[in-house]
Chain A
Amino acid sequence: MDQYASALLAFPPETDLNDNALYDQAARSHLNKLSKLLKERSNELVTYGPQLLELLDPSVNSLSYLAVLYTLVIPGLASSASREFLLEKVTVFLMTFDGRQCRYAGSNLLEIMGAVGSGQLLPPSVAVGALASAVLNIDPTGTMLTSSYLMLAKLAYHTDNIDPALQVIDKNIVFYPNMNNHGDPDCLCDLSLSPPSYITRDNGLTATMKPAGVMEYDLLCGLMFCSRRDWAKAFAAFERVVTFPTREGGASKLMAEAYKKWVLVSLLLKGKQSELPSYTGGVANKLYGVVGKAYTNLASLFVTEDVQALRSEAEKNGEIWLEDCNMGLVQEVLAAYQKWRVLGLQDVYTKITISEIRKQTTSAETGEKLGKDEDVRMLIQNMIIGGMLNGVIEKNDDGTDFLTFLSPTTQLSEQDFAKELARTAMRLKQLQPIFKATNERLGTNKDYVKHLIKESKRTDKGDGQDPTLGFDSQVDDEDLMGGIITTS
């Protein structure tokens, strides 16, 4: 027992860990010892495991902790300790482990996360929280999609434990597994590495992702934001699926599903159907026109005053909504109809009495005007509180209530404006490492290097030639960033 303990505690050394090469070496030799231990003495490890776990600090001796935990949890919970004890340890470990160390044992970590993600070990609310922390422990920037993200999203959505997952699904994903041209890094432990260089299928930190998986993740994110009624984020998430890059005229059913939801959320967020971004795939675009007909019809009626037509369209297609699982969203849309009509009044009026609003707007849920002025007041007050409407309800001398629309944007002071711009600039600066990683990757792309060599040869050769020839060839230089937009 003691010998195991001393072996397990040997890493990380207490000496300086800043040098990547030394750290790498130490980690790898410790890893060798651990795997030997796992292979030859796994029975003893299982026996002493619980005690060893008490001895080790999961945030410091993460690699060793992982090894012991692994023997106790995989393939099934060991009987040498109580279930509660083990599960507590798993949770603590996932919440606190050192991502740098665990890069060396990705596949073991992934297996444990997978066991948790299956939802059978831990209650879902705990599992989601633990997985979310684990995912961010591996990659604090949260910019790279891995199979664990998808697992987390599925678990969170299907068990309705969205809050603990928010810290993960809120992140902007810009990297994906197995991007070409990310060669093996010199030191896996280098903290300046960009996520795609240390999270690969080879070192086990992620499984293979397929296009459907990527889209499913964004779709799930959108659905989760929907259930939190965060329409802006849901809209962005669905749009990512709708505009998913396609090639050779591809399109997918998931994209069509996303399009339907995208249209509805767009009504909720903007009051009308947004235009598809220019980089939407051509075939997908045509597909949307066909399969999303009922939805675009609903959208075009949403902006009109014709409430009966909207209602009958919504009722007529009830089966479609049910089949597409969009009934909830359609009801939201109908509920939002009157709000948007009230909002539309600000294009005509500056001040208007509550009773006039009641006369001029109709609820799409009942197809009737609201019965009492008091109901309209409530509706408007909710809109003001929700930030949808910029206005105040006032009382006249003779006691009539009226709504005053305030000007849509109050002028910012010069300082506030500058601050706001600076904030955006800040955020753009924060993109710098991502940009750098992308640039490096593209810059060392095999094809690009070949292209450069060819270019330089041509300029060498072309010295004696007409200078205008060289100029021409410069102009139609391949634009690596620009050409990606429409790929279909």
Chain B
Amino acid sequence: MASNEEQNHVLEFFTAMDNQEGVIVRQAPKLDLDLYISNYKGRTRFERLLRIGQCSVPLCQEALKAAIVEAKQGQDTQRYRDAWECIRIAAPNEPEAQWDSAWVTNTDKTNKHETYRLETELKGYKNNLVKESIRIGHRDLGQHLESIGDLTGATEAYSKMRPDASTQQHILAVSKHLISTMIQKRDWAGVLANANKVVAVSVPPQEQNTEQPYQKMVSGVAYLGSDKYLEAAKSFLEVGDPTACQQYNDIASVNDVATYGGLLALASMDRLELQSRVLDSSTFRNYLELEPHIRKAISMFVNGRYSACLAILESYRPDYLLDIYLQKHVSTVFSLIRSKCIVQYFLPFSCVTLDSMNATFARPGESLEAELITMIKSGVLKARINTIDRLLVAVSTNARVAMQTKGLEAARNYEKEALERIRRVSLAAANLEVKGQSRNAGGGLPGVGDLWSDDNGRRLLNPGESAMG
């Protein structure tokens, strides 16, 4: 009885989410929530928990409860409010669904007090004109504001650190703080700009190595956010040492890098590149070991077993849909991979029966034809459909015909242009150009008088329709 009631609440919650056009994942993902969230630290934990709670039907209650706990460990009361709004509907009978107003009032009060204290301190530092103290003051204020969820204020405070940053390390720190807030604000352009600064400041070669994982990872995430899949894939593939990468799990875990990098490479690179840059890469291999299904999918693709590759990816779709960065892009990336598979499958043939295409790619009982037509129309697939013999036929480009057509066209255009040029020279010589009156007209609007003066055009055209029949 109780479980039935619970289900009703969950149903109610997802009806509401559906009305807000949120993504809803009904299948159970392969991930284990506790294990998954232990991969992360910092503010991203809450974000991820809440997203899973809002999207995944099987994990909804568990994730929302964890989100409440997570929120109450921090100082961000708004986050608590957000999570509570969800759990209130989804699981009203859980202890976590009780509104803890004492905690909220308390935390708000401490937060306000702390902000005031830090601002006063900063004012004191400024009066003393000690650069280092001012920088630290700004940093502390920024960190505090970030932790209570005032991201705009945090960004402002962090950027005020820049004038007082005197060493490479300081500049690096400014950029990292800024990137952290900007990722939370989803300001991808800002992330990219600051990520580039991270490279620019780390001039000595050994230092670049230590910063590379961080820089490549954040730019990968930012490129992904701005729909630049190839650039994102390249960035993720170059992240390098997994242990160095591990320490930045406040943004993305090592497993995420493997998933993002592999999927996006599959969507944007050709077979040769996939082999050399993904499968044969000595550094990225370490990542792929963490997510073996990605490696399997890629090698399936490289070996031409497209349906198997698609099946693996399809089985992980729920997992990808629960990822905060990947969620928006899953359907695009999947359809990119799918159409690439179709194109690759067709490549060695001059003609394939539609039935064998259906057997390989279509879901049972459905036909691939509509999808093929869209692909042909958009120019992705260079082929034609023969509905009589049920074939997909490759377009043979006859270079000779193309050359001849081009040659004849060039000859025609040359002739046309020669005539046109002579004609224009003659018109100019006969002083027959249409002249603007902007300079020599006595009054009136510039140009307009001339424009509408040759009124005989109207009279001339009226009987025109009769001849048109």
A223 at the interface (CB under 8 A from B): yes
User: Which residue from A172, A176, A287 sits with its C-beta under 8 Å from B430?
Assistant: A176
Task: Please indicate the chain A residues that have their CB under 8 angstroms from the CB of B30 in the complex.
Answer: none
Task: Please indicate the chain A residues that have their CB under 8 angstroms from the CB of B450 in the complex.
Answer: 250-252
Task: Please indicate the chain B residues that have their CB under 8 angstroms from the CB of A39 in the complex.
Answer: none
Q: Which of A1-9, A44-52, A376-384, A409-417 forms part of the interface with chain B?
A: A409-417
Given contacts A160-B467, A325-B464, A351-B387, contact A247 B404 (CB under 8 A): no
Give the docked Cα–Cα distance between A402 and B429 (Å).
58
Question: In the complex, are the beta carbons of A353 and B387 less than 8 A apart?
Answer: yes
A292 at the interface (CB under 8 A from B): no
Question: In the complex, are the beta carbons of A253 and B452 less than 8 A apart?
Answer: yes
Question: In the complex, are the beta carbons of B430 and A481 less than 8 A apart?
Answer: no
B465 at the interface (CB under 8 A from A): yes
User: Which residue from B373, B428, B453, B467 sits with its C-beta under 8 Å from A227?
Assistant: B467
**Which applies to chain B's interface (DSSP): helix, strand, loop or mixed?**
helix
Given contacts A283-B447, A351-B389, A481-B421, contact A176 B436 (CB under 8 A): no
A145 to chain B, nearest CB (A): 9
A76 at the interface (CB under 8 A from B): no
A162 at the interface (CB under 8 A from B): yes
A212 at the interface (CB under 8 A from B): yes
Give the docked Cα–Cα distance between A283 and B433 (Å).
13
Give the docked Cα–Cα distance between A157 and B465 (Å).
11
A486 to chain B, nearest CB (A): 10
Q: Which of B140-148, B152-160, B407-415 forms part of the interface with chain A?
A: B407-415
Question: In the complex, are the beta carbons of B388 and A351 less than 8 A apart?
Answer: yes
B434 at the interface (CB under 8 A from A): yes
Q: Which of A358-385 contact B (CB under 8 A)?
A: none
A92 at the interface (CB under 8 A from B): no
Q: Which of A399-425 contact B (CB under 8 A)?
A: 400, 402, 405, 407, 409-412, 417, 420-421, 424-425
Given contacts A251-B447, A253-B452, contact A245 B427 (CB under 8 A): yes
Closest B residue by C-beta to A328: B468
B414 to chain A, nearest CB (A): 7
Given contacts A224-B467, A417-B404, A428-B415, contact A250 B435 (CB under 8 A): yes
Chain A contributes a number of interface residues (CB within 8 A of B) equal to 89
A431 at the interface (CB under 8 A from B): yes
Q: Which of A251-287 contact B (CB under 8 A)?
A: 251-255, 257, 279, 281, 283-284, 287
Task: Please indicate the chain A residues that have their CB under 8 angstroms from the CB of B462 in the complex.
Answer: 325
A91 at the interface (CB under 8 A from B): no
Question: In the complex, are the beta carbons of A172 and B419 less than 8 A apart?
Answer: yes
A347 at the interface (CB under 8 A from B): yes
Question: In the complex, are the beta carbons of A245 and B424 less than 8 A apart?
Answer: yes
Q: Interface digits, B443-469 against A, CB 8 Å rule (1 contact, 0 not)?
A: 000110011111111101111111111
Task: Please indicate the chain B residues that have their CB under 8 angstroms from the CB of A253 in the complex.
Answer: 451-455, 457-458
Question: In the complex, are the beta carbons of A246 and B433 less than 8 A apart?
Answer: yes
B401 to chain A, nearest CB (A): 5
Question: In the complex, are the beta carbons of A257 and B465 less than 8 A apart?
Answer: no
Q: Which of A91-109 contact B (CB under 8 A)?
A: none
Closest A residue by C-beta to B411: A424
B350 to chain A, nearest CB (A): 12
Give the docked Cα–Cα distance between A404 and B111 (Å).
76
Question: In the complex, are the beta carbons of A246 and B435 less than 8 A apart?
Answer: yes
Give the docked Cα–Cα distance between A251 and B431 (Å).
15
Give the docked Cα–Cα distance between A346 and B437 (Å).
50
Among the interface residues B373, B430, B463, which one has the most CB atoms of the partner chain A within 10 A? B430
What 9 A-B pairs are tightest by C-beta distance, nearest first? A328-B468, A249-B436, A424-B411, A250-B436, A248-B436, A176-B430, A250-B434, A179-B429, A350-B384
B residues within 8 Å of A by Cβ? 373, 376-377, 384-389, 391, 393, 398, 400-401, 404-405, 407-408, 411-412, 414-415, 418-419, 421-439, 446-447, 450-458, 460-469
